Amino acid sequence: MTKVAILGGSGYTALELIKILLRHPHVEIAAVTSRQRDMPHLAELHPSLTGRIDLRCELFDVERLTTNGVQCVFSCLPHGASMVTVPALLQRGLRVIDLSADYRLRDPDLYAQWYGESHADRMHLAQAVYGLPELYGDAIATAQLVANPGCYPQTGILGLAPLAAGHCIEPRRLIIDSKSGVSGAGRTPKLTTHFPECNESVSAYQVGKHRHTPEIEQVLADVAGEPIEVIFTPHLIPMDRGIFSTIYAMPRRPLSEHELLEMYRSYYAHAPFVRVVEHLPATKDCAGTNFFDVTVRMVRDAIVVLACEDNLVRGASGVAVQNFNRMFGYDERTALL
Ligand SMILES: NC(=O)c1ccc[n+]([C@@H]2O[C@H](COP(=O)([O-])OP(=O)(O)OC[C@H]3O[C@@H](n4cnc5c(N)ncnc54)[C@H](OP(=O)(O)O)[C@@H]3O)[C@@H](O)[C@H]2O)c1
């Protein structure tokens, strides 16, 4: 049994993690922390957990977690809060999977530029491994700190990785047009995600300046071995969960749809959660699962990649458990199929 703790207990990704980990035969959820001082029972925060787990939240206390024998901590905190919380855990030898963006960008100056504050934990930033198992699986297995990937970035990265690795696309001005359900913004209320503001409406936001842009470019540059430039445009759509991305790339040489599909199948041959499909994927088909569904088409000599995932499972808590499984030597699929 591996004892784990989850930080940020009242949030959406914490709820999703608890649901997945309750199915894990080798995990004991030893603690869930929250800032709420009255130590709410998890079922009070998340009524869907009624009868499924008998645990009260506790305030974050690193000594208590260590004494309790916790070996791995999932940080489901917002960016900024994670990087001031994680160092104490690492210093005590715990392994951490951080779901926030705090440890994803290797360059602290890039972090400051896109997140508007300087990085508070440069030392550990240097040792973080980007938690996309399909690309960094071996490094994840031995990492102490895993930077779980962003939900939008996964669709862009996994959607383009086979093409970038094969050097068969123009590396500049790749276009990623993404739509996300409202849970992507978290449970903390905001005006833009207030029901009358976003229901019956579709809108783009952060055009040309969304923080996931450098994350996508960093990872795709690793895959391609050359600089990558993307135009990433996110949209909010009136559904609870799910992300759909339509991605446009220009081929460097003529390619047929058949060749492209074969390229994707071969690239993801050993990736149990990537489904290369021939039909046009839809968020409903992977809702609540850890699957990433992708297909590809040629349209007027351009490559069009169509990809989708569940933002809370594949985009956050599911891939976190996939990383956890690799880190602790369990079958990658445990609790996820
Ligand atoms: N939602 C998604 O689809 C998604 C996908 C990928 C990655 N992520 C990332 O995962 C993290 C969690 O996302 P989420 O959707 O679960 O967010 P959320 O629903 O807003 O939950 C975050 C929780 O963190 C705690 N918290 C908030 N502000 C805090 C602060 N300043 N200091 C300490 N704790 C604080 C709160 O829990 P308590 O009140 O119980 O303390 C809050 O409920 C974020 O960094 C997010 O960017 C989210």
Same domain, 143 and 111: yes
Q: Is 250 exposed, middle or buried (0-12, 13-18, 19+ CB in 10 A)?
A: middle
In a domain, 337, yes or no: no
Marked catalytic residue, from 57, 72, 76, 151: 151
Is residue 181 included in any domain, yes or no?
yes
Q: Are 192 and 260 within one domain?
A: yes
pLDDT tens profile 224-269: 999 999 999 999 999 999 999 999 999 999 999 999 999 999 999 9
Domain range holding 98? Answer: 2-149+315-327
Residues 194 and 287 in one domain: yes
3-state SS class at 7 = strand
Phi and psi dihedrals of 24, rounded to 5? -85, 120
Q: Is 74 in the pocket of ligand 1 (CB under 6 A)?
A: no
Q: Which of the listed residues 56, 82, 148, 188 should we mutate to test ligand 1's pocket, taking the one with most ligand atoms within 8 A of CB?
A: 188
- Are both 186 and 137 inside the same structural domain? no
| Mean of pLDDT over the chain | 98
Give the per-residue pLDDT at 285: 98
Hey, which of 17, 35, 190, 210 would you mutate to test ligand 1's pocket, going by the most ligand atoms within 8 Å of its Cβ? 35
Closest CA to 32 of 11, 2, 1: 11
Q: What is the pLDDT of residues 130-166, one digit of tens each?
A: 999 999 999 999 999 999 999 999 999 999 999 999 9
Q: What is the dihedral of CA 153, 219, 264, 316, to 10 degrees?
A: -40
Q: Atom 22, ligand 1: which residue's CA is nearest?
A: 11
- Domain assignment present for 279: yes
Q: Would you say residue 44 has pLDDT above 90?
A: yes
CA distances from 298 to 244, 255, 256 (A): 18, 8, 7
Identify whether 303 is part of a domain. yes
227 and 105 part of one domain: no
**Are residues 136 and 102 in contact, defined by beta-carbon separation less than 8 angstroms?**
no
Question: Number of folded domains in the chain?
Answer: 2
Residue 316 beta carbon below 6 angstroms from any ligand 1 atom: yes
Say yes or no: 123 and 248 in one domain.
no
Is residue 203 lining ligand 1, measured as CB closer than 6 Å? no
**Residues 159 and 297 occupy one common structural domain:** yes
Ligand 1 in contact with 190 (CB < 6 A)? no
pLDDT attached to residue 306: 98
Q: Is the CB of 8 under 6 A from ligand 1?
A: yes
Q: Does residue 332 lie within any of the structural domains?
A: no
Residue 14: what residue type?
A
The CATH number assigned to the domain holding 145 equals: 3.40.50.720
Please tell me the distance from the alpha carbon of residue 78 to that of residue 164, in angstroms, as a whole number.
Answer: 31
Tokens describing residue 56: 């009260």
Determine if ligand 1 sits within 6 Å of the CB of residue 188: yes
β-strands 145-147, 174-180 pairing = unpaired
pLDDT single digits (tens) 6-24: 999 999 999 999 999 999 9
User: Is the C-beta atom of 283 inside 6 A of ligand 1?
Assistant: no
- Angle, vertex CA 190, rays to CA 187 and CA 195, nearest 5: 85
Q: What is the pLDDT of residues 183-224, one digit of tens each?
A: 999 999 999 999 999 999 999 999 999 999 999 999 999 999
Type of residue numbered 24: H
| Domain match, 188 and 239 both | yes
pLDDT at 100: 98
d(CA 188, CA 164): 36
Q: Are residues 100 and 155 in the same domain?
A: no
In this structure, are residues 307 and 289 in contact, taking their beta carbons and an 8 Å threshold? Answer: no
Q: How far is CA 316 from the centre of its chain?
A: 4
Same domain, 138 and 167: no
In a domain, 333, yes or no: no
Residues 155 and 103 in one domain: no
pLDDT at 107: 98
Among 76, 132, 178, 211, residue to substitute to test ligand 1 (most atoms within 8 Å of Cβ) = 76
**Which residues, 6+ apart, have CB-to-CB distance to 113 below 8 Å?**
none
Which ligand 1 atom sits closest to the C-alpha of 187? 19
- The residue written with tokens 């047929």 in the block is 256
Q: How far apart are CA 172 and CA 311, in angstroms?
A: 26
Q: Is residue 120 included in any domain, yes or no?
A: yes
Q: Which pLDDT belongs to residue 308?
A: 98
**From ligand 1's centre to the CA of 45, what distance in Å?**
14
The answer on 259 and 274 residing in a single domain is: yes
| Annotated catalytic residue 72 | no
Residue 197: give its domain's CATH number.
Answer: 3.30.360.10
pLDDT for the residue numbered 88: 98
d(CA 293, CA 306): 8
Is 21 within the bounds of a domain? yes
63: Cβ contacts below 8 Å, ≥ 6 apart: none
pLDDT at site 173: 86
